[in-house]
Amino acid sequence: MTAAPLTAVPAYAAPEPKAPLERITIARRPVGEHDVLIEIAYCGICRSDIHQVEGDWGPAPFPMVPGHEIAGVVTEVGPAVSRYAVGDRVGVGCFVDSCRRCDNCRAGLEQYCARGTTNTYPAGPDGTPAYGGYSTHIVVDENYVLRIPEGIGLAEAAPLLCAGITLYSPLSHWQAGPGKRVAIVGMGGLGHLGVKIARAMGAEVTVLSQSLSKQDDGVRLGAEHFHATSDPETYRKLANSFDLVINTVSAPLDLNAYLGLLTIDGTLVNVGLSAEPTPIGLFSLIGGRRSLAGSMLGGMRETQEMLDFCAVHRIGAEIERIGADEINAAYARVLAGDVRYRFVIDAATVAAPVAETA
C-alpha cells in the first residue's frame, strides 16, 4: 500500500541571504524506483544551517530550506526499494547521494566522496535548489536513508544524524575506549553528545569549556572532570594528559595550547570549523610525536553503527522542542549560546496555512 503522490509540501525557508525564515510551499520530486518518501517528524537546528542562511559559506540558491538532522516515518516506497517499508522509523543526515564508484564510496566513506557528495541542501548536483528538513516531507534514495532503532525517540535521534555522527566517527576512528583519556573541547550541541558517546565507549572523559557554567550538566552526562579553558592554570595542570582531544568549537582557538595537553602519540581532532586561519607551531607537534587531525561526519555504514550504538546505550540528544514559528528566535538563541543543547523543530507545526509559494 502506498500513499497518494505528493509533490507540493509546506516548508520554512529563507527567501534571500540573511533574511528571516518564513513559510512557503516547495516541490518534492515524485517517488522513483529506489526512493523513499518520509513524513518528517522532527528536524534539528544545526549551527551550519545559520551559516548557510547567512551566506557565510559562499553563494547558494534561494529560497533556502535548511535542515539535515531529519527523523521521521516512511509513508511510501518505490517499486525497487528493498531496505524499507511503510511505517519504518528512519533518518536522513547531511548528504543524500555520492558517486558510489570512487574508492572512498566503495570503502563506505561516502562523506569523503572523491567527486563530492550531494548535500541534503542547499543545492543539487546541477546547482538547482535542494530543500532540507524544515518541511513536512522529503524524498530520498533508500541508500542514503538510516534506520532509527526503537531505543531512541525520534526527536532525540534527529541531532544524531549530524552532531552525533560528527563525534562518534572520530571517537571510533581514534579508538576511544577503556584506558583512554579523552577531552571534549566545548559543551554545546556537538560536545554534549561527545561526552555521552565517549563515556559509553568506556573512556575517561574530561570537558574543557570556556567557563564552569555547564559543569553540572557535564558530570550528569558522563564527564568525570570539567575544567575552564579561560583559566590559564588549566593548561599547566593538564599538560601531557590526554590520548585524544576533540575540538567541537567553531570559534578560533590557540591550537598550540591544546596540543600541549596531549600525551605522547596523542591526537587533537578538529570537528569545529573556524573561518579564520589558525597558526600552528611545529614544536607543538614534534615535541611529543603528536598529531593534528580533522574529521567530517561518517559514511552510511558508520552512521547506522552510531545509531545502533546509541540505541543500545540509550543515548539521544538533549533537546528543546520548538514550533516552526519559533525558528528565527531559535537562530538568535543559538548565536547567543542560549540552548541546552539542540533545538528540534516539530515538523507537525510546519503544516500551518501556507503564506507564499516558491
Whether residue 82 sits in one domain with residue 116: yes
Of the candidates 318, 341, 324, 12, the residue with the CA atom closest to the CA atom of residue 157: 318
109-148 residue pLDDT tens? 999 999 999 999 999 888 888 999 999 999 999 999 999 9
Q: For residues 189-200, give the mean pLDDT.
A: 97
Residue ranges with strand state E in 80-203:
89-92, 95-97, 118-119, 137-141, 146-147, 181-185
Going by C-beta distance under 8 Å and a sequence separation of 6 or more, which residues neighbour residue 262?
240, 241, 242, 243, 245, 268, 288, 290
On whether residue 299 sits in a domain, the answer given is no
The pair phi, psi for residue 106, each rounded to 5°, is: -65, -25
Residue 340 has pLDDT above 50, yes or no: yes
The span from the CA of 333 to the CA of 210, in Å, is 18
Of the candidates 158, 178, 168, the residue with the CA atom closest to the CA atom of residue 317: 158
Going by C-beta distance under 8 Å and a sequence separation of 6 or more, which residues neighbour residue 251?
272, 274
> For position 357, what pLDDT does the model report?
42
Whether residue 192 sits in one domain with residue 138: no
Lowest model confidence (mean pLDDT) among 1-10, 37-46, 304-313: 1-10
CATH code, domain carrying 122: 3.90.180.10
**Whole-structure pTM over 0.75, yes or no?**
yes
Whether residue 124 sits in one domain with residue 32: yes
> For position 72, what pLDDT does the model report?
98
> For position 93, what pLDDT does the model report?
98
Residue 356 has pLDDT above 90, yes or no: no
On whether residue 141 sits in a domain, the answer given is yes
Q: How many domains does the chain have?
A: 2
Considering Cα of 332, then 159, then 202, then 247, what sign does the dihedral take?
negative
Domain of 152 in residue numbering reads as 8-160+317-357
Lowest model confidence (mean pLDDT) among 56-65, 188-197, 207-216, 302-311: 56-65
